[in-house]
């Protein structure tokens, strides 16, 4: 349903109705000529997103923490989609220097024009660890790494006519908190709480980025999506590595009942491609408790929309990553003069 339809309904109603309509991967449409980067796409949901995008004609860059995994993942996409244009780059999100190098490589591979960035990679339930910069691992990989990558890819994104950034969160963000002014240095550590908090940070970042784009009248859309509950090894592999085998096996027995990565990719793909999407929208599966189902626009926890928390996280992230989003982006990137 588009605003041009003669239903007499006001625009926001039409858009709301459109986001409740049945949507499947077939609605992605033709993505020929568009370039997309998906982080954490050597396995799990990210791999499925990369495959769907390639199937619809996008040129896809798989960003992974290991070059061998990236090459294998790219070959797997080529095997499934004969016409796929796919490359891989190394992007270790815990290492800011690596992230900046990865951004440079992406800019060169895409000739400086990027249409879509899907910030999907994550760690969950890892034992307490700090990055070389001293930041807690969940916060560093799941949020700060993506903040840095997005910041460095901004010039390329702003060279595309309708660029999008999709941050992948979780229904578990409802359990997340902005516990202190120091989310990067928690006083008391709990592995799952650290994951929940990082998934809340993904949503706060989306709101910060969409507000930044709106302030500067940029065509950039920042959106969030969550995949529901998915049969991947997220969390369980970290628990096994930490010798918490009983907890890992319990999680695996639940994961075996959850929906497949290919289907779980749909909310991310809808956020990435739906023409009715607006800045700051959040997509998730429309079934019971948002565990699975066709993607619809979903509600975020109130604390994910808290203006003070959004501003605090934005400032802290700029300070910790030493990357500042420009106060005044170049005139050439403005809506009235798309590149
Ligand atoms: N599975 C679920 O039930 C579920 C539910 C809600 C939300 N989610 C969200 O969905 C997204 C994908 O999860 P998934 O289930 O597909 O997870 P997964 O199968 O464990 O895959 C995680 C991906 O993240 C990458 N990654 C991990 N640490 C990294 C680092 N330091 N630097 C760069 N990449 C790194 C991994 O690549 P390497 O192997 O190269 O490290 C891998 O490709 C995450 O944002 C997660 O929070 C998942």
Beta-carbon contacts of residue 116 (< 8 Å; ≥ 6 apart): 34, 35, 36, 37, 53, 58, 163, 164, 165, 166, 272
- Centre of ligand 1 to C-alpha 278, Å, is 25
Q: Is the CB of 269 under 6 A from ligand 1?
A: no
Task: Report the candidate in 263, 272, 229 with the shortest Cα–Cα distance to residue 118.
Answer: 272
- Does residue 5 register a pLDDT over 60? no
* Contact between 288 and 243 (Cβ < 8 Å): no
Digit-coded pLDDT (tens) for 131-189: 999 999 999 999 999 999 999 999 999 999 999 999 999 999 999 998 767 888 888 89
- Does residue 33 register a pLDDT over 80? yes
- Does residue 119 register a pLDDT over 60? yes
- Centre of ligand 1 to C-alpha 114, Å, is 22
* Contact between 325 and 211 (Cβ < 8 Å): no
* Cα gap 197→201, rounded to integer Å: 6
Q: What is the pLDDT of residue 53?
A: 98
- Does residue 339 register a pLDDT over 60? no
Q: Which residues of 308-339 are buried (b: 16+ CB within 10 A; e: fewer)?
A: ebbebbbebbeebbebebeeebeeebeeeeee
Whose CA is closest to atom 5 on ligand 1? 229
How much of the chain is helix, strand and coil, in % rounded to 5?
45, 10, 40
Q: What is the pLDDT of residue 11?
A: 62
- Centre of ligand 1 to C-alpha 234, Å, is 6
Q: Which of 195, 205, 282, 314 is catalytic?
A: 195
Work out which ligand 1 atom sits closest to the CA atom of 195.
Answer: 47
Q: Is 283 a catalytic residue?
A: no
- Centre of ligand 1 to C-alpha 44, Å, is 7
Mean predicted confidence (pLDDT) in 50-62: 98
Q: Is the CB of 226 under 6 A from ligand 1?
A: yes
Mean of per-residue pLDDT scores for the chain: 91
Q: Is the CB of 14 under 6 A from ligand 1?
A: no
- Does residue 7 register a pLDDT over 60? no
- Does residue 69 register a pLDDT over 90? yes
Percentage of the chain with pLDDT > 90? 84
What residue ranges define each of the domains in the chain, with the CATH number in brackets?
29-322 (3.40.50.720)
Q: Is the CB of 123 under 6 A from ligand 1?
A: yes
Digit-coded pLDDT (tens) for 258-285: 999 999 999 999 999 999 999 999 999 9
Q: What is the pLDDT of residue 334?
A: 47
Q: Is the CB of 170 under 6 A from ligand 1?
A: yes
- Centre of ligand 1 to C-alpha 255, Å, is 14
Digit-coded pLDDT (tens) for 217-243: 999 999 999 999 999 999 999 999 999
- Our mutation pick for probing the ligand 1 site, out of 40, 118, 232, counting the most ligand atoms within 8 A of Cβ, is 40
Mean predicted confidence (pLDDT) in 69-83: 98
Q: What is the pLDDT of residue 252?
A: 95
Q: Is the CB of 173 under 6 A from ligand 1?
A: no
**What six digits make up the tokens of 220?**
């950039």
- Does residue 211 register a pLDDT over 50? yes
Q: What is the pLDDT of residue 1?
A: 34
Task: Report the candidate in 202, 213, 129, 135 with the shortest Cα–Cα distance to residue 170.
Answer: 202
- Does residue 13 register a pLDDT over 80? no
Q: What is the pLDDT of residue 109?
A: 98
- Our mutation pick for probing the ligand 1 site, out of 39, 44, 271, counting the most ligand atoms within 8 A of Cβ, is 44
- Centre of ligand 1 to C-alpha 308, Å, is 28
Digit-coded pLDDT (tens) for 319-328: 999 999 988 7
- Does residue 18 register a pLDDT over 80? no
- Does residue 16 register a pLDDT over 80? no
pTM equals: 0.93
Residue corresponding to tokens 């607006």 = 278
Mean predicted confidence (pLDDT) in 80-86: 97
Residue 221: strand pairing partners: 164
């Amino acid at each position: 349903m588009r605003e041009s339809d003669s239903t007499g309904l006001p625009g926001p109603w039409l858009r709301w109705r459109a986001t409740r309509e049945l949507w499947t991967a077939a609605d992605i449409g033709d993505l020929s000529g568009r370039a997309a980067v998906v982080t954490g796409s050597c396995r799990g949901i990210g791999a499925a997103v990369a495959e769907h995008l390639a199937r619809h004609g996008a040129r896809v860059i798989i960003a992974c923490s290991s070059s061998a995994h990236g090459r294998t993942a790219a070959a797997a996409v080529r095997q499934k989609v004969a016409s796929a244009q796919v490359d891989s780059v190394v992007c270790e999100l815990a290492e800011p220097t690596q992230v900046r190098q990865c951004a440079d490589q992406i800019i060169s591979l895409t000739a400086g024009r990027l249409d879509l960035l899907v910030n999907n990679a994550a760690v969950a339930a890892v034992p307490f660890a700090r990055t070389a910069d001293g930041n807690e691992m969940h916060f560093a990989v799941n949020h700060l790494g993506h903040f840095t990558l997005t910041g460095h890819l901004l010039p390329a994104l702003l060279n595309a006519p309708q660029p999008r950034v999709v941050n992948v969160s979780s229904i578990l963000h409802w359990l997340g908190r902005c516990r202190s002014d120091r989310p990067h240095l928690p006083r008391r550590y709990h592995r799952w709480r650290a994951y929940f908090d990082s998934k809340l940070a993904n949503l706060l970042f989306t709101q910060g980025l969409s507000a930044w784009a709106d302030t500067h009248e940029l065509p950039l859309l920042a959106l969030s999506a969550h995949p529901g509950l998915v049969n991947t090894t997220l969390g369980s592999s970290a628990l096994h590595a930490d010798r918490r085998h009983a907890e890992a096996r319990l999680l695996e027995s639940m994961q075996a009942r959850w929906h497949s990565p290919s289907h779980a990719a749909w909310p991310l793909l809808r956020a990435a491609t739906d023409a009715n999407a607006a800045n700051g929208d959040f997509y998730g599966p429309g079934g019971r408790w948002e565990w699975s189902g066709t993607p619809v626009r979903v509600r975020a926890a109130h604390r994910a929309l808290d203006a003070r928390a959004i501003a605090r996280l934005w400032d802290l992230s700029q300070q910790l990553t030493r990357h500042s989003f420009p106060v005044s982006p170049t005139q050439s990137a403005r809506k009235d003069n798309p590149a």
